[in-house]
Amino acid sequence: MQAMPHQLMGYDRAITMFSPDGRLLQVEYAKKTVRQGSTAIGIVCKDGVLLVADKRIAEKLIIPESVEKIFKMDNHIGATASGILSDARVLIERGQLKAQQHSVTYDTPVDVITIVKEICSLQQICTQSAGLRPFGVSILVAGIDRDGPALFETDPTGIYFQYQATAIGEGEIEVEEILNKEYSTSMTIEDGLKLALSALMKVLGKDFSTQRIDAAYIKTDEKMFTQVKKDRLDKVCKECKKK
């Protein structure tokens, strides 16, 4: 049994090679990369969908506004990620291109699930092609469909799940515990923002600052990606601290 780790070492040299117990070790390493990334939260609310992310600014001289953690895919779709953000940028640009192509071809807004499947197809190809490595990133894709708000999480394997509320990154376990206890389908975007910020306060502790927070929402009636400004984040944080 002690020799097993040494035996497994040979099976992580190529993405196309399964270990004897049916695992793709390179994919598992990619999932660990996601768990080391900064925390991102997605919440479906009764009046729309919300994304809140920690930018984890490591150096004081970095301009916080220059660090982008939440991305606009289309007017009605946004995304955030955890893991290797350069990987995320490639996947998100793929989604943006798909949204533009759909709009030009069909003259209608693209469904959120179509974007998610496009991203996951590329992620999956990189789990079975020699000479490639898996994307070391998970992406939260949020938007407004014909049926209302929708939130999906993609995985480095290329699989996806739909959620009412979820978190990815280093604070995933702690934040999901809070979401499981306090999330309600009757929440408004304002309620969801308070919940997400209070959860990040608990996870980050003394390191928490609105300078390192990125947030955006899409309302069901407007279907317009909207970035949350810093003064609003400051105001909500003060309200959270009073509780």
Asked whether residue 202 is assigned to any structural domain, the reply reads yes
* 191-237 pLDDT, tens digit each: 999 999 999 999 999 989 999 999 999 999 999 999 999 999 999 99
* 114-157 pLDDT, tens digit each: 999 999 999 999 999 888 899 999 999 999 999 899 999 999 99
* 50-64 pLDDT, tens digit each: 999 999 987 888 888
* 30-42 pLDDT, tens digit each: 999 999 999 999 9
**Phi, psi for 200 (deg, rounded to 5):** -70, -35
Token code pair at residue 218: 């899409």
Asked whether residue 159 is assigned to any structural domain, the reply reads yes
Asked whether residue 3 is assigned to any structural domain, the reply reads no
Asked whether residue 20 is assigned to any structural domain, the reply reads no
* 177-196 pLDDT, tens digit each: 999 999 999 999 999 999 99
Asked whether residue 162 is assigned to any structural domain, the reply reads yes
Would you say the pTM of this structure is higher than 0.95? no
State residue 242's pLDDT score: 72
Token code pair at residue 144: 């407004």
Number of folded domains that form the chain: 1
State residue 172's pLDDT score: 96
Asked whether residue 18 is assigned to any structural domain, the reply reads no
Instruction: Let me know the angle formed at the C-alpha of 171 by 210 and 14, rounded to the nearest 5 degrees.
Output: 125
Look up the CATH number of the domain holding residue 128. 3.60.20.10
| Secondary structure letter of residue 66 according to DSSP | G
Q: What number of helices (H) and strands (E) belong to the chain?
A: 7, 10
Angle between helical axes of 85-106 and 112-125 (0-180°, round to 10): 130
Asked whether residue 6 is assigned to any structural domain, the reply reads no
How remote is the C-alpha of 129 from its chain's centroid? 25
Asked whether residue 12 is assigned to any structural domain, the reply reads no
Residue 191 belongs to what domain range?
41-242
